[in-house]
Amino acid sequence: MTRKLFGTDGVRGQANTYPMTAEMALKLGQAAGRFFRRDGSNAHRVVIGKDTRLSGYMLENALTAGLTSTGMNVLLLGPVPTPAVGFLTRSMRADLGVMISASHNPHQDNGIKFFGPDGFKLSDAAEAEIETMVEGEIQPAQPQNIGRAKRIDDALGRYVEYAKTTFPAGLRLDGLKVVIDCANGAAYKAAPLVLWELGAEVIPVGVAPNGTNINEKCGSTYTQTAAEAVVAHGAHVGISLDGDADRVMILDERGQVADGDQIMALFAARWAEEGRLNGGTLVATVMSNLGLEKFLNARGLRLERTNVGDRYVVEAMRRGGWNLGGEQSGHIVMTDVATTGDGLLAGLQFLAEMARTGTPASALIRQFETVPQMLKNVRFAAGKQPLENDAVKAVIKANAERISGKGRILIRKSGTEPLIRVMAECEDAAMLRDVVEDIVGAVEKAV
């Protein structure tokens, strides 16, 4: 079954523009409610969380109306990280979890992500079935079976307490000065509180959301702000989250940044030494650097690659029984403790390694030498299909042959934005640049 509404991470778009309208949120709520309330009973519940975007109020109300109209009882969590929704869906025995967020995108965008009763994101097949229901007539509940809605005051506290339990027993963060950049997003309360209660001296950044400043010159996609704070305050380490806190970048005491590949390399090596890396395997996407693969192979470990999107990483992990995976972009998935990427929990594991070994962050964030990699994005207008253009296909084929044996290229359409992503890796930096620019030029001409 194909999906048109859903991308690689739920439904996403510009707020008040199709598909991110109140009308569509209402229909999605109705369809999801009917999908999960098949037996007609009134014991079904759904939890809804959101980040700090202004449009979150509109979408939250519309989703609530749609869900309650089909008989679902709605528990409103307020602003919480995306991984908190996954955790609370399972913890609170909900049939469905919903997160309203566009993650690292600017405030104008928003999105809707669904979690099943096990706390994991829905499969492609489930999303396709919900899409089909959106397009049809949805039977509402009888008047006496309409659902109720209420706010849950302790949702944030539940997640904070759980997050602390994932930090190794017997360790503390006393003496560590930590910059935490919350991107003016969903973790602006939870993350600083967890770190402080574990003993750290906390320098919070990006903790004053106003509805329109989420991810604005802060967070994991703009690490300069956290880097400046680390240097200015003489901090030992920086943790930079994105708007819904499912991504993380780590900064050392000099403000140097480690992406998801370096963080996964550190965790994989440590877990393998301790005998807790299931199957000796790390799961990552096709975007992860070749240097990571070489690092793992040198230690007798293997890298399992998936399509881009943390949900595909998680699906592969569940199929293979593996417990560590993620993306170069900063999604770190540890299925022993979470059902999706959790930037805060990953940050805590990095801090635990610092506390356990007494090693500075600068000695931990560079686990391997990266193979030179270049990524460029080309924006295109609605209705365009640049990758179907014959001239573009010819240029891609020619450059693939040129780089064969020396590196690799990856061309793909973004699942969350109208972008063509052109990525290549090659030891020869000049060839790398030429290959990427040649393909980008062809795509730009086509659009």
Look up the pTM and report it. 0.91
pLDDT in tens, 276-293: 999 999 999 999 999 999
Same domain, 26 and 140: yes
Same domain, 20 and 147: yes
Question: Distance (Å, rounded) from C-alpha 232 to C-alpha 385?
Answer: 47
Q: Which of 420, 225, 216, 245 is nearest to 330 (CA)?
A: 245
- DSSP for 116-131, please give it: -TTSSBPPHHHHHHHH
Q: How many helices (H) and strands (E) does the chain have?
A: 13, 18
Helix (H, G, I), strand (E, B) or coil at 35: helix
pLDDT in tens, 209-258: 999 999 999 999 999 999 999 999 999 999 999 999 999 999 999 999 99
Question: Distance (Å, rounded) from C-alpha 421 to C-alpha 431?
Answer: 18
DSSP assignment letter at 404 = B
Question: Distance (Å, rounded) from C-alpha 39 to C-alpha 46?
Answer: 15
pLDDT in tens, 346-394: 999 999 999 999 999 999 999 999 999 999 999 998 778 899 999 999 9
Same domain, 44 and 65: yes
**Domain hosting residue 436, numbered range:** 373-446
Same domain, 20 and 126: yes
Catalytic annotation present for 103: yes
In this prediction, residue 16 carries a pLDDT of 98
pLDDT in tens, 387-415: 999 999 999 999 999 999 888 999 988 87
Contact 341, 83 (CB under 8 A): yes
Q: From the candidates 103, 220, 240, 329, which is the catalytic residue?
A: 103
Q: Is residue 360 part of a domain?
A: no
The residue from 153, 173, 205 where one domain ends is 153
Domain total for the chain? 4
pLDDT in tens, 192-215: 999 999 999 999 999 999 999 999
CATH number of the domain encompassing residue 128: 3.40.120.10
Q: At what angle do helices 22-36 and 124-135 cross, to 10 degrees?
A: 120
Cα 172 to its chain centre, rounded Å, is 27
Taking CA 432 as the corner, what is the angle to CA 300 and CA 248, rounded to the nearest 5 degrees? 55
pLDDT > 70? residue 41: no
In this prediction, residue 254 carries a pLDDT of 98
